[in-house]
Amino acid sequence: MVDVSQHELVPDHTVLDSDELEDVLAEYDIKKTDLPKIKRTDPGLPDDAGVGDVIKVERDSRTTDRAVVYRLVIE
């Protein structure tokens, strides 16, 4: 079986710890539930990601070199 998460076109997904999460929420002045959502079944998610976790997605960008977005894991 192919591990989709290892494909070169799949961006890096990492689970934020509580300190990083607090910094992100404060920077954008939002609540965790205001973040865009990502399903737990998304093949790009790390195995240790659970419902309620916030994921940092880093992808290549032509305009900014690296684009960083955050997603809340839902069921």
pLDDT in tens, 17-37: 999 999 999 999 999 999 999
Q: Is residue 49 part of a domain?
A: yes
Closest residue by Cα to residue 70 from 18, 34, 44:
34
CATH number, residue 19: 3.90.940.20
Q: Is residue 23 part of a domain?
A: yes
Full residue range of the structural domain in which residue 29 is found: 12-73
Q: Is residue 3 part of a domain?
A: no
- At 2 the pLDDT is 73
CA distance 11 to 53: 18
Overall number of domains in the chain:
1
Give the pTM: 0.85
Bridge partners (DSSP) listed for residue 14: 56
Q: Is residue 22 part of a domain?
A: yes
Q: Is residue 7 part of a domain?
A: no
Confidence bin at 72 (pLDDT 50/70/90): very high
Q: Is residue 47 part of a domain?
A: yes
Between strands 65-74 and 37-39, the pairing is parallel
Bridge partners (DSSP) listed for residue 65: 61
